[in-house]
Amino acid sequence: MRAGEIHVAVAEWSAVGRMRRWRRRQSPWPLLSQPRGLIVLIGAVVGGALLLAACAAAFTPIRGAELATFAALVACAGLCVEAMRRLGKPSGLTRDLLGAWWLPTVLMLPPLYSLLIPVPVYLLLQYRIRRAVVHRRVFNAASVGVAGFAASALFHGLVAGDWLTGLWLPLEDTEAAVSSVQGALLALSCCAVFTVLNNLAVAAAMSLSATGAAWRKMLLDREALIVDGVELCAGITAAIVTGLSPLLLAVVLPPVLLLQRSLLFEQLQTAARTDPKTGLLNAATWEAEAGGEIARARRAGRPAAVLIVDIDHFKAVNDTYGHLFGDHVLLGVATTLTGQLRTSDVVGRFGGEEFVVLLPGADMAEACRIAERLRLQVGRMERKADGERVAITVSLGLAVLSVHGEDLVGLLAAADLALYRAKGAGRDRVCMPVVARTTIPAQLGGDGDPDREAMPSATGAAVPESGESD
């Protein structure tokens, strides 16, 4: 993470607290540096998967037809992984259609196989796609396995009429059940149970993680629900085809590969436009979109304003609490900004601890109100690190179209100089330039010229704040 500054209001550290932080930073195991709640969750899910596998293995007979079906499903999932490798897979939380092969395993084979199929697939993901942190791969495989076991035990128990008998129900019985209308509806319901349980596990891990990722937006938005629906349809289709003959999976594989390719291509396009830590537009994309908005505003004679938001004393939090907590702060500020802005506003991360906002249609008075609201809302945001409350503030530089500049470069230069004046005046405030139509160039996404405060256009005026004056 780039150097910056953040204001931290905390109590003095105790000797025990300092030793605990030192031990956690020195640990060679990344899992031990995670929040305790996440460690407990991972241990519970992985331990539960191992316990279920041991119990199910004691009751499940080995049959040749089921092994052949399992091998065919693993092969199809492996081909999907290889297709991801050719196209590429974005980092972070991504959506795929591997559920098209989890679900036939859940429905057609005894519950033990639902615990086993994620193991080879996630090994392929780890060594053929990207080397991720091991505990994340293990947790994902275990959560898929536990959710699959629960859904499979539910389906097989209802078909057999007895939960214990369902653990070793033969393939012929599940083939007959899925081929009927009533059995297909039951299968669809059990697959929905699998999707809900797996998503709940992922959401719990994301909410407990050090970054505090916005799991609602990632798992419950319209696109995510559509992907889940497509995955259910593909999985039910594959299960019905598997009931006819595992060889017919060769007919299902091409459309699943095509759907997955389209899904990953869209995610790669989105990843190229956004900042991976915050989900906001990156500097290049924000510049392109904001430049177009400014050009349209000038042609139509409409007002517009630009804000540069800088987290105060950001370097201190990275040095004190580590970069994972710094990422948590960045994500929290980004979430607060987007929650307080209109859908028409264009928000991006400039780099380091700086954010940029374009306010189309906002005159000087409205832009000042919005900037002050953002400052107050971020100031109310608190984060905890090892039980200590960390207060966060931001400084904002504001520039208005046709008052402080005639294009995006001029507005950014004026807002950047106003931001430096806000920081020099004590931080946690909003400032705007006094000199209009500055022509000093601004460098997008960088730290800029260190001598720019000495330039003639560096004078500025602060937006009035209660209890404060310059």
Among 46, 36, 25, which Cα is nearest to 209's? 36
Q: Is the pLDDT of residue 278 over 90?
A: no
**pLDDT of 130 above 50:** yes
CB of 374 closer than 8 Å to CB of 394: yes
- The CA-atom distances, in angstroms, between 313 and each of 184, 211, 462 are 59, 19, 20
Side chain identity, residue 409: V
- Find the range with the poorest average confidence among 225-234, 258-267, 272-281, 456-465: 456-465
pLDDT at 469 over 60: no
Residue 436 has pLDDT above 80, yes or no: no
Would you give the DSSP letter of residue 310?
E
| Bigger pLDDT: 175 vs 103 | 103
- Residue 172 near residue 69, CB atoms below 8 Å: no
Residue 180 has pLDDT above 60, yes or no: yes
Residue 444 clears pLDDT 60, i.e. is over it: no
The SS3 assignment for 187 reads helix
pLDDT of residue 131: 81
Q: What share of the chain in percent tops pLDDT 90?
A: 34
Q: Which residue has the higher pLDDT, 266 or 416?
A: 416
**Above 60 in pLDDT, residue 217?**
no
Categorize the per-residue pLDDT at 294 as very low, low, confident or very high, splitting at 50, 70 and 90: very high
Report the DSSP beta bridge partners of residue 465.
468
Mean pLDDT score, 172-191: 87
Contact 324, 31 (CB under 8 A): no
Average pLDDT over the chain, rounded to an integer: 79
The tokens describing 141, both together, are: 């495989």
**DSSP code, position 161:** T
Distant-in-sequence, close-in-space partners of 320: CB < 8 Å, separation ≥ 6: 8, 385
Digit-coded pLDDT (tens) for 264-277: 777 767 667 778 78
Specify the pTM: 0.62
Do residues 285 and 348 touch, judged by C-beta distance below 8 A? yes
Q: How sure is the predictor about 424, in pLDDT bands with cuts at 50, 70 and 90?
A: confident
Report how far Cα 118 is from the mean position of its chain's Cα atoms.
Answer: 22
pLDDT given for residue 360 in this prediction:
94
Give Cα separations from 10 to 20, 27, 117, 373 (angstroms): 17, 25, 48, 24
Average pLDDT for 95-119: 91
Structure tokens at 146: 């536990």
| 92 vs 136: which has the higher pLDDT | 136
Closest CA to 50 of 159, 141, 175: 141
Of 371, 339, 347, 346, nearest to 360 (Cα)? 346
Tokens of 176: 């007959």
Residue 90 β-bridge partners? none
Lowest-confidence pick of 71-85, 190-204, 346-360, 426-440: 426-440
Residue 451: pLDDT over 60: no
- Amino acid type, 402: S
Segment 439-450 shows an average pLDDT of 36
Distances (CA, A) of 175 to 110, 148, 179, 235: 12, 18, 6, 14
Residue with structure tokens 């179209």?
401
Q: What 3-state DSSP class applies to 274?
A: strand
Upper half-sphere CA count for residue 171 (Cβ side, 13 Å): 21
Residue of higher predicted confidence among 343 and 117? 117
